[in-house]
Amino acid sequence: MRTALLQSSGRPGSVAENLKVLDEAAGRAAAAGAGLLITPEMFLTGYAIGDGIARLAEPADGDSADAVAEIASRHGLALAYGYPERDGETVYNSAQLISADGTRQANYRKTHLFGCFERDHFTPGERQVVQAELNGLRVGILICYDVEFPENVRAHALAGTDLLVVPTAQMHPFQFVAESMIPVRAFENQMYVAYVNRAGREGEFEFIGLSALAGPDGVARARAGRGEELVFADTDPAFLAAAREANPYLQDRRPGLYGSLV
């Protein structure tokens, strides 16, 4: 499956403008043969928008979800996007996967919040593994800081995730995560990892870009630069199966020794 990574900070504070950016990118991705387009963390509203997070937060099945579903079905490709999710009085940092026919497939709430900014504005989610079947692949979702905890990615590996979708808002000076950690996560867990970042300065944050899709061999199939960009890479189930056959990490585990980790 050809996968498109939309590296963009969109238009912080404007859902309507970000939907336009998403629509344009979806058209380009579909024309290039992509079956899935992934946006960064909090793409729908912007990340560093302070109290605007609570004001713009919507339910997982709200008006904006309907608008994204319409874009997905009109262009004929699945969309994974980051947004602030409202559930009653609670706001989560979430990412949702919508299929090419506009059906809501999976919704994930970030479990590990980074820094005071996120802890001031969000409640952490409690479900570690969220998955959906898409074009012959089992797709899982984490968000940014979540992927830096090896336990999270290993849980996905043990649950059979083939492609781990990671909308992110990675900022300076932590570029080593995109450059080094993401390929290692893909290799040690025998999966594809799509890490899709924001780009440029937003409020107090400087986002580093460097979005990547890494394969189970630890090689980045696509790598963006520091600016706004749409990049593509293919996820190949046959290559994934061969890599899993050749790499014994998951088979050679000894869980009985790991009790002290929890």
Could you say which of 85, 110, 148, 202 is catalytic?
110
Residue 178 DSSP symbol = I
116 part of the active site: no
Spatial separation of the C-alpha atoms in residues 192 and 35, rounded to whole Å: 15
Alpha-carbon span 91 to 143, nearest angstrom: 15
41 is catalytic: yes
Active-site residue, from 41, 58, 85, 118:
41
Task: Assess contact for 148 and 177: CB atoms under 8 A.
Answer: yes
Query: Could you confirm whether 110 is annotated as catalytic?
Result: yes
- What's the gap between Cα 199 and its chain centre? 15
Which helix (DSSP H) or strand (DSSP E) does residue 52 occupy? helix 52-56
Q: Please pick, among 58, 85, 118, 144, the residue that the annotation labels catalytic.
A: 144
Q: Which residues are catalytic?
A: 41, 110, 144
